Structure 1
Amino acid sequence: MKTRYSFGGDEHIFVEMDEEMSLDAFFKSLSMTNAVRAAEIDGVTEICPANASFQVKFDPDRIKPDDMLAELKALEHTAESAEKKLKTRIIDFPVFYRDPWTHETLMRFRDRHQDPNGTDLDYAARINGFDTVEDFITAHHSQPWFVSMVGFVAGLPFLYQLVDRSRQLEVPKYVRPRTDTPKQTVGYGGCFSCVYSVRGAGGYQMFGITPMTIFDPKQETNYLRDFMVFHNPGDIVKFRPIDRAEYDQTLADVQANRYTPKIAEVDFDLDAFNADMDGFNAKLMGALNDV
């Protein structure tokens, strides 16, 4: 697909690298946003990256919209030679699947769901061809996930599974959104998993909940004192299933500021990943064993 540019009112330009999400599109978008930032274009006030696109906010009193568009198009060649290596981190991320809180919530909204007679996990397992919910949960946590963007609401990560496209899980959003979702719910919509950073409305399927705080605007959580948002684009997340006892203990540790997330520094190489996805993932996940 040819890069597509569109104006958003008088102060924004939206740049779409591809119509579908892929890691190649993510790296092209990342390369171009870095180039825009490095160019220090007079009038640019904000650059907002997304899954396979980004948006630039600018001051039209300092630079005309058509001139801003021309500046961006002049940098497009950087996307074609995008750097496909990234120094990042892999995070051990505990998840209590089939927890009572998301279950209570999803049962209140069955009239908005594709399958009113089951649960979100029942539906997800069936449409993805798994014999049991346990098999689906295993597929969800067995391979790592790539944080392609953070947003929609403050601190919410969108995660793209690091597997071959034929193995990617696909689950549509609710037919009509809920008016309630528990804080820190692990959800799923389309090809993306997510973690709801705050309680509120939502349309993604609900699979479980994490005891980890991922957004703290007061920055009182010990591991969020440098920045209120936990995830960064480019992070790699390894979901780890836990039971109720570990959930309760971890939650108590988080609330008492005794909890430190398990994190390892890693190098992500897109070409090496594409050449041997399972082998590359094993090395990524193995890095957590050394922490």
Structure 2
Amino acid sequence: MTRARYTYGGDEFLFVEVSEEMSLAANFTVTLIARELQEHHLNGVIEICPANASLLIRFNPEVIAPGDLEDSVRSIEEKVTDSANSVVPTRIIEVPVWYDDPVTAEVVSRFREGYHQDPSGNDLDYAATVNGLEDASAFIRAHHQSPWIVSMVGFVAGLPFMYQLVDREHQLEVPKYLSPRTDTAPLTVGHGGCFAVIYSVRGAGGYQMFGIAAAPIYHPELQGTDQEDQMILFRPGDIVKFRPVEEAEYRRIQQEVEAGSFRYRQVPIDFDMERALEEGAVYNTELVEALNVDGR
């Protein structure tokens, strides 16, 4: 990969653009730079925000000079891009999803005419058509069978952007709505371009809607408490495996959430970017099997 492009946003922000387009390799480099920078604990660095193919660093220019910060980040970039390391410690998390559910179906019904490319069907039907799949069931299978990597968290608090770990030829791609909706149910599993998301809160949105996750991913009430690190479920670099559930299991999980007893199944793993690129489905199977061996 070519070296990153460095620009400034006002007096307090350094923008590091690793690539102009999203790729697994670009996102992996962003993750490595962000983690290495965090471990350096540079005085004056306030916040590190990794994204799909770039990262934004907020700093205090009265504590660290912009040029000194840029020099440090460039050194880190050189170190990680020249390194043979292709492995990062992370987690694989299983996310139960009720696909083709009545909650998102009701929202879909309110935003067809004037909002959607094909007002005659629903979002799953449209997604199957544009991806050359037989029907909505085939699209759902393609959506949940392969794991996804969380490429960034943001835009809305706690909202994960996810990139499917398949080769580009098999990437699911669906355009956003022609015009954004004014309403989206919380925990809606959506898709825009090549990215899947889970809407962490209710609000406006323009991604196609395929189902609803069964348990919360964002807990704003924990802000300022000793459990604040659990406020947001996902972190960049997490691996996500969607698991389809029917209504009965969705309702049971909802009861566990209400009782405070629900826990996401997750397992610590070492994610190997080179193996993901070279071995594809074989490596994906190994990742998913980690949940079956040690899921908790």
Q: Could you say which residue in structure 2 is the equivalent of 1:87? A: 89
> Post-superposition shift, 1:125?
0.7
Match of 1:272 among 252, 271, 275: 275
Task: Trace 1:95-110 onto structure 2 (pairs within 5 A).
Answer: 95-110=97-112
Q: Could you say which residue in structure 1 is the equivalent of 2:70? A: 69
Query: 1:219 and 1:42 mapped to 2: Cα distance?
Result: 27
- Relative to structure 1, is the Cα distance of residues 244 and 225 closer, same or farther in structure 2, using a 3 angstrom cutoff? farther
Identity in percent: 50
Q: Could you say which residue in structure 2 is the equivalent of 1:134? A: 137
> Post-superposition shift, 1:68?
3.4
> Post-superposition shift, 1:233?
1.3
In structure 1, runs of 5+ residues without a counterpart are none
> Post-superposition shift, 1:121?
1.0
| 1:159 aligns to 2:131 (yes or no) | no
Q: CA RMSD in A?
A: 1.8
Q: Could you say which residue in structure 2 is the equivalent of 1:252? A: 255
- Which shows bigger deviation, 58-67 or 209-218? 58-67
Aligned residues: 288
Match of 2:286 among 269, 279, 283: 283
Q: Could you say which residue in structure 2 is the equivalent of 1:149? A: 152
Q: Could you say which residue in structure 2 is the equivalent of 1:168? A: 171
Query: 1:42 and 1:253 mapped to 2: Cα distance?
Result: 43
Q: Could you say which residue in structure 2 is the equivalent of 1:78? A: 79
| 1:188 aligns to 2:191 (yes or no) | yes
Secondary structure (helix, strand or coil) at the match of 2:269 reads: strand
- Relative to structure 1, is the Cα distance of residues 21 and 249 closer, same or farther in structure 2, using a 3 angstrom cutoff? same
The runs of at least 4 consecutive aligned structure 1 residues that moved more than 4 Å come to: none
- Relative to structure 1, is the Cα distance of residues 112 and 252 closer, same or farther in structure 2, using a 3 angstrom cutoff? same
> Post-superposition shift, 1:91?
1.5
> Post-superposition shift, 1:108?
0.9
> Post-superposition shift, 1:217?
1.4
> Post-superposition shift, 1:48?
0.8
CA contact (8 A) 1:26 1:51 kept: yes
CA contact (8 A) 1:29 1:79 kept: no
Query: 1:131 and 1:149 mapped to 2: Cα distance?
Result: 31
Secondary structure (helix, strand or coil) at the match of 2:106 reads: helix
Query: 1:284 and 1:130 mapped to 2: Cα distance?
Result: 25
TM-score, scaled relative to structure 2: 0.92
Aligned partner of 1:245: which letter?
Answer: A
- Which shows bigger deviation, 52-61 or 35-44? 35-44
Secondary structure (helix, strand or coil) at the match of 1:137 reads: helix
